[in-house]
């Protein structure tokens, strides 16, 4: 499994990987079957699944990940329904991050040729999401991407390359539209 963290192509169908995937899948199943009212139980399951997470968080079910231990999340994290994180590579998420419904963060890619793909040839690249980031609904973040602090990724975007801090980015492939400035401040609330 550690070979995936080198960023090199590896053959990934090892029995120990299958066991780790099953263990995490069972924990995610338990989390997703636990009522929202059972906050302490849910928090305990999240802390067992993930490598680390801050003090304050809300993860709506369903939530899915491959290993969990390769995911590090800061404080004040909110994930809406149906977040999937394939964490063969490291996933690092900062503080004050909002993730909309139906989002996916993927660190793994497979060989393009069928014979190699069928043999389990794959590689992973880390994903880093800075602090104060918002991923709107249905965003996909692909392997090797870094999203800078304060960035906003518009709904339905597929993020294929790095996004600079304090920018609004949208589309497939995702591209920067403009900087986010104080002119974006909402003046009338309520």
Q: What residues are annotated to the active site? A: 110
The Cα-based distances of 129 to 13, 138, 189 in angstroms read 28, 16, 28
Q: Spell out the residues 6+ positions from residue 118 whose beta carbon is closer than 8 angstroms to its own.
A: none
Sheet holding 127-129, edge to edge: 52-53, 71-73, 91-93, 127-129, 146-147
Q: Is the peptide bond before 153 cis (omega within 30 degrees of 0)?
A: no
């Amino acid at each position: 499994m550690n070979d995936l963290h080198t960023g090199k192509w590896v053959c990934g169908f090892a029995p120990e990987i299958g066991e780790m995937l099953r263990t995490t899948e069972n924990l995610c199943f338990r989390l997703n079957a636990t009522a929202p009212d059972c906050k302490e139980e849910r928090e305990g399951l999240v802390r067992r699944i993930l490598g680390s997470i801050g003090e304050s968080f809300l993860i709506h079910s369903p939530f899915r990940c491959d290993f969990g231990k390769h995911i590090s999340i800061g404080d004040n994290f909110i994930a809406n329904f149906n977040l999937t994180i394939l964490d063969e590579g490291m996933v690092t998420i900062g503080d004050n991050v909002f993730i909309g419904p139906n989002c996916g963060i993927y660190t793994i890619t497979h060989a393009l040729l069928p014979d190699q793909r069928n043999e389990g040839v794959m590689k992973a690249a880390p994903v880093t999401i800075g602090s104060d980031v918002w991923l709107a609904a249905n965003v996909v973040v692909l392997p090797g991407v870094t999203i800078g602090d304060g960035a906003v990724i518009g709904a339905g975007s597929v993020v294929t390359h790095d996004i600079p801090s304090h920018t609004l980015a949208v589309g497939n492939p995702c591209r920067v539209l403009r900087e986010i400035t104080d002119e974006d401040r909402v003046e009338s609330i309520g």
